[in-house]
A and B are shown apart, each in its own frame.
Chain A
Amino acid sequence: MSDNTMNPSASKGISRRQFTAAAATGALISSAGLPFRSARAATPLKLGVLLPRSGHLALIGQACQRGAEIGLPMLRDMGYAVELMNADTESNPDSGRTQAEKLIREGAQMLMGCFDSATTLAVAGVAEQKGIPFVVNIGAEPKITEQGFKYVFRNFPSAPMLGKGGLLLYKDMFAAAGVSPKTAVLLHVNDSFGMGMLGGINALMPKLDMPFTIVETIAYDPKARDLSIEVAKAKAAKADFVMTVTRLNDAIMLVREMVKQQVETMGITSPGSPGMYDKQFFKALGKYAEFCSVNIPWFDPKQEMAQVLSKTFEKAFPEESCDLNVGFTFEAVLIAADAHKRAGSSDPQALTEALRATNIAKRVMLGGAIKFEANGQNMNLRSAVVQNLNGRPTVVLPSESAEAKLVFPMPPFKGRT
């Protein structure tokens, strides 16, 4: 169900009016004085955007799509020229593979996507076969950059990086809160992302000398209709706090079920997964969404480009979350556009070489300059503790980027107003 088009407003989830508003806002902000204005590139890069805009990952796929489109006016003003060719992977690796082949047939010079690891791997295979560079916006499965692909570049942490960054932040959390929980129960989805995270956590826990042990690990299907059994099992484990590796809908079900089953815990925290910072999570759970936290790569609130992107996004989409899906997808388009500009060509080999030489210091996410290792992985990525406070995800650690103070242990569900 591809809607390959040069018209970004044709994608699902964004109306023409919203897109026009976003474009106008972006143009307005950029004309008001962003520091990176330069001459425009002549021939635009045809960037094939593969995202799960329907199926069980649709909500997050559409968030990524907004990230791809919202920054186009900003990028244009920075002298970059990109045309998006949008395709829906339908949350299905087979559809992703088919859509990637179709985009390449229709002239895509570079690919970008795909949010979920399984589809990303499928598309990476196509990119490799056709010799087309592929920038991964989000996808944590280690194999993406460990299989020896020559055309794949990932500006997102692998599951072990996510796990390590996320786990190490627990030490900082406990130090900042002055408490020392001894046990945790881990609830995780059993898709490729969840299993990759589990592998990373299990491997890293002993190496990092963590101050707590995981007393029970509970896997569940990401399409599960009901998580009451899983939560009952977690409650029976009587651990000090709950660790989660979730998607969005299951994160909502988990916390709702914890409230119903009166699971009172020191914290509901994720070492690095989507769901709990999403606007839909706040809408569905209200006061019960508060104090949940995620240790995850996030916007750097101190970066000017991040501030501009957030403001532009919030103006255009007041009902949606400006989260890491938006940030990393924006950065993926930035990386592609930057490589195209430096390559001065749309030749796939030239684009690939330019991607290899990427060095982008001004960015929106936490971490150093965007650079790729020989295997295509950007190692300059840093996680933050993002806690839900006053109805929005808020950076509480590291302290140099913090917008508010960490609340841990979290107040009990019972009696919240």
Chain B
Amino acid sequence: MDATFFLNVTSGGLLTGLVYGLMALGLSVIFGVMRVVNFAHGDMMVVAMYAAFLLFTKLGIEPVPALPLVAGGLFVFGYLLQRFLINRFLGVTEHIQFLLLLSIAMIITNGLLMVFGPDARNIQLDASFESYSIGPLVLDKVRVIAAITAGGVAALLWAFFRYTTTGTAIRACADNPVGARVVGLDVEKLYAVTFGIGAACVGAAGCLLLLLMDVHPHLSSDYTLLGFIIVILGGLGSLGGALLGGILVGLSEALSGVLIAPSLKSMFSFGLLILVLLLRPHGILGKKP
């Protein structure tokens, strides 16, 4: 195996990792602000994948142009879910929250099974079979498009939290909810906006993942688990950590597939997780509690 081979595999892992990172951003945002672990995360992403699939098959809108529509739809869904359901469970013990979100996850998965059936579905674009050749480096075109879009969405999210009034207010809620209430912020509304933003991130990731893989209802549990691995690696609540965690998982899957065995690549992600939990329990970029 030569250097070109490693370069190709590493670049593929890096590009996939960026999309993984975007998917985990939503989970990290929601936990970072509200301290709610969204067990319906993967299910919401699968909803987004089906929405992008329908927009393509019924209206001919490709997943990247469909991204704002799907992300917008998921924002509204997340906002309403938080405002009218999850908000009522914020003060209760954590295991009640887990049960609530697991119930939502099961309802979504079974709803998707009823509507779409168990079959895997995919979309075929001209780009699905194309690649960019840069010297000996061969880059999958859809993976490049997905990774660049994921990077763009992550940058927008960072700018939102950094430079907008709402973003600053949400950060204030995350740092000190009592203080935020004292200065007159509508914390419930900001929590709903946060959940909506988290859901929108998942919606964007769902559109991009549809470019890379088939969708079926049972995919959700895999991605919920993957999201948890990524955010725990990067640090719960850290935006940069989620992206870094995604890239690490993408790279570790790629390299372990090459150096050990492709069938063991998922196991390697779990190994990495255990290592981080042992050496740095709050994650690579997470803050100590």
A238 CB, nearest partner CB in chain B, Å: 10
With beta carbons under 8 angstroms apart, the residue of B1, B117, B216 that contacts A236 is B1
The stretch from B118-126, B155-163, B170-178 touching chain A is B118-126
CB distance from B201 to the nearest CB of A (A): 19
Are A225 and B129 closer than 8 Å at their CB atoms? Answer: no
Q: Are B214 and A260 in contact (CB under 8 A)?
A: no
- Tell me which of A112-120, A131-139, A216-224 binds B: A216-224
List residues of B (158-193) whose CB comes within 8 Å of A's CBs: none
Which of B53-61, B229-237, B256-264 lines the interface with chain A? B256-264
Given A226-B212, A228-B12: A261 in contact with B119 (beta carbons within 8 A) = no
The distance from the CB of B216 to the nearest CB of chain A, in whole angstroms, is 8
B83 part of interface (Cβ distance < 8 Å): no
Q: Are B138 and A229 within 8 A (Cβ)?
A: no
A379 to B: closest C-beta gap in Å: 33
Contact B118 A58 (CB under 8 A): yes
Q: A284 at the A/B interface (Cβ < 8 Å)?
A: yes
Q: In the complex the two chains form, is A219's CB within 8 Å of B263's CB? A: yes
Known contacts A56-B218, A225-B213: does B12 contact A259 (CB below 8 Å)?
Answer: no
Cβ-defined contact, B12 with A12, below 8 A: no
Report B3 CB to chain A, min CB distance, Å.
Answer: 11
Q: Which residues on the A side are within 8 Å of B258 (C-beta)?
A: 229, 232-233
A230 at the binding interface (Cβ < 8 Å) = yes
* CB-defined contacts of A229 to chain B, threshold 8 Å: 9, 12-13, 253-254, 257-258, 262, 265
Closest residue of chain B to A225 (Cβ to Cβ) is B213
A-B contact count (CB 8 A): 86
- Size of B's binding interface in residues, CB under 8 A: 39
User: A288 contacts which chain B residues (CB < 8 A)?
Assistant: 129
User: In the docked arrangement, what's the CA distance between A286 and B130, Å?
Assistant: 14
Considering only CB atoms, which chain B residue lies closest to A237 in the complex?
B1
Q: Which residues of B from 95 to 137 have beta carbons under 8 Å from A? A: 113, 117-120, 122, 124, 128-131, 133
| A346: Cβ under 8 A from any B Cβ | no
Query: In the complex, how many angstroms separate the beta carbon of A216 from the nearest chain B beta carbon?
Result: 10
Is there an interface contact between A54 and B122, defined as CB atoms closer than 8 Å? no
Q: Does A190 contact B (CB under 8 A)?
A: yes
Is A233 a contact of B120 with CB atoms below 8 Å? no
Complexed CA–CA distance, A286 and B129 (Å): 11
B131 close to A230 (CB less than 8 A): no
Which residues A283-319 have CB closer than 8 A to chain B? 284, 286, 288
CB-CB under 8 A for A256 and B262, given A229-B254, A261-B138: no
> Which of the residues A190, A219, A227, A284 comes within 8 Å of B122, measured between beta carbons?
A284
Query: Separation in Å of the A17 CB from the closest CB of chain B?
Result: 17
Chain A residue total in the interface (Cβ 8 A): 35
State A413–B258 Cα separation when bound (angstroms): 25
Chain B residue at smallest Cβ distance from A88: B118
Q: Is the CB of B5 within 8 A of A232?
A: yes
B131 to chain A: which residues have CB within 8 Å? 260-262
A59 within 8 A of B: yes
Interface centre among B1, B130, B133, B261 (most CB of A within 10 A): B261
Q: Which residue of B lies closest to A61 (CB)?
A: B118
Instruction: Tell me whether B8 and A232 are in contact (CB under 8 A).
Output: yes
Known: A233-B258, A262-B131. A249 touches B12 (CB 8 A): no
Contacts of A228 on B, CB cut-off 8 Å? Answer: 9, 12, 16, 140, 254
**Which A residues form the contact surface with B (CB < 8 A)?**
12, 54-56, 58-59, 190, 218-221, 223-230, 232-233, 235-236, 249, 252-253, 256, 259-262, 284, 286, 288, 413
* Chain B interfacial positions (CB closer than 8 Å to A): 1-2, 5, 8-9, 12-13, 16, 113, 117-120, 122, 124, 128-131, 133, 138, 140-141, 212-214, 216, 218-219, 222, 253-254, 257-258, 261-263, 265-266
Give 3 closest A-B pairs by Cβ, nearest first.
A229-B257, A58-B118, A54-B118
Q: Contacts A56-B218, A229-B253, A262-B131 given; 9 further ones with Cβ under 8 A?
A: A54-B117, A55-B118, A55-B218, A221-B266, A226-B16, A226-B213, A228-B140, A261-B140, A284-B124
